[in-house]
Amino acid sequence: MVWPPARGRWRSPIHTAGLSLTLPILPLAPPLDDPRPLELAAPQAADLEAARALSDAGQRAFELGHYDEAIARWEHAYMLLPADEAALLEATLLYKITLAHQQAYTLDGDRRHLELALRLLDRYRTHVRADDEESLADSDERRATLLRLLEEQDAAEQDAAEQDAAEQDAACEPATAASEAADQGDQPDALAHAPGEPPPPRLDAEAQARRRYRLEVSLGASATALGAAATWGLALTSALGADINRQMSLTSDYETLASLDRRGRTYNRTAVASGVLAGALLATGVALLVDARRHRPAPLAKQAPTLGLGPGALEVRF
């Protein structure tokens, strides 16, 4: 008897739904010239029963399309077989696991299934007899199918990589063209746009930059001026406080001293508040002016003065 069964007797669900090789028969039927008794030792019989159950469970999982489970069941069954029985059924299990990996690839597209199936099929081929031409032809055909699937996946991955590279190049082309136009001085004038239409993005950005610059300059100048005024107030209240101290040193009248003390405390509080306010305003003003200078937009191109109609009068534009 030939193991695994010949191509015409044993097919995977790829060709036919009749893949069914059960383990209960052959492991219990040694060759006629085998001197071993038909009764196996107890440990071997227990392992064989467990392997038989796992093989049946793997067959059911395969028929239901649960190929990963079928692979795990059959591999476990092979590990439980005694050494002599494993040698007898190794080709069968290798072929069944190969089919399961090939079917699993059709579900998840994982190329590892194809690679494992190819290695297992090569191992299975070493167990096929040289005169079993039908089994050899079947293994050759299946190996060619696995190699074709691997080549198709490699080609698909290469096409996807080339498409991604082309999309990235296409996305970079506008920026590259704009950069080259700017280098060659061919960039269109951002100020040239039809009346009533929204300005180009460049003009809008430049207008926003100029508005920001003018706002920062005016706020910074105002804050600096107010800070200078607060500093002058600090100096004035400090001088008045010093004068109060001088007057208090020249009199001994209680009511006069009390009045001078109240005025002195008022001047002191005013001086402290003026100092804090002056520091905050000066710091803010200087920061705004520095930022405005740092982000100062480029000056507009000089234009010749033009004479035109303004709202109710003539106006000259520079």
pLDDT of 145: 92
Helix (H, G, I), strand (E, B) or coil at 307: strand
Summarised one tens digit per residue, pLDDT across range 154-179 is: 888 888 888 888 788 777 666 565 56
Percent of the chain with pLDDT over 70: 67
Measured CA to CA, the distance from residue 311 to residue 213 in angstroms comes to 28
Does 124 score more than 80 pLDDT?
A: yes
Does 282 score more than 60 pLDDT?
A: yes
CB 67 within 8 A of CB 107: yes
* Topology annotation, domain 26-31+41-157: 1.25.40
Does 2 score more than 80 pLDDT?
A: no
Average pLDDT of every residue of the chain: 73
Summarised one tens digit per residue, pLDDT across range 215-267 is: 878 888 888 888 888 888 888 888 888 888 888 778 777 778 788 788 888 88
Q: Where are the beta strands (DSSP E) in the chain?
A: 306-310, 313-317
Percent of the chain with pLDDT over 90: 3
**How sure is the predictor about 84, in pLDDT bands with cuts at 50, 70 and 90?**
low
Does 83 score more than 70 pLDDT?
A: no
Peptide bond into 82 cis (omega under 30): no
pLDDT of 314: 44
Helices (H) and strands (E) in the chain, counts: 7, 2
Does 75 score more than 80 pLDDT?
A: yes
pLDDT of 10: 38
Measured CA to CA, the distance from residue 273 to residue 302 in angstroms comes to 48
Measured CA to CA, the distance from residue 7 to residue 17 in angstroms comes to 14
CB 116 within 8 A of CB 105: no
Burial zone of 57 (CB within 10 Å; 0-12 exposed, 13-18 middle, 19+ buried): middle
Q: Could you tell me which of 259, 262, 268 has the C-alpha nearest to residue 240?
A: 268
**How sure is the predictor about 291, in pLDDT bands with cuts at 50, 70 and 90?**
confident
pLDDT of 87: 56
pLDDT of 146: 92
Measured CA to CA, the distance from residue 145 to residue 181 in angstroms comes to 54
Helix (H, G, I), strand (E, B) or coil at 243: helix
Q: Which tokens go with 167? A: 């999309």
Measured CA to CA, the distance from residue 306 to residue 315 in angstroms comes to 8
Does 200 score more than 60 pLDDT?
A: no
| 167: CB partners within 8 A, 6+ apart | none
List the domain boundaries for the chain.
26-31+41-157, 202-299
Q: What is the DSSP secondary-structure string of 13-53?
A: TTT-S-----SSSGGG---TT--S-SSPPHHHHHHHHHHHH
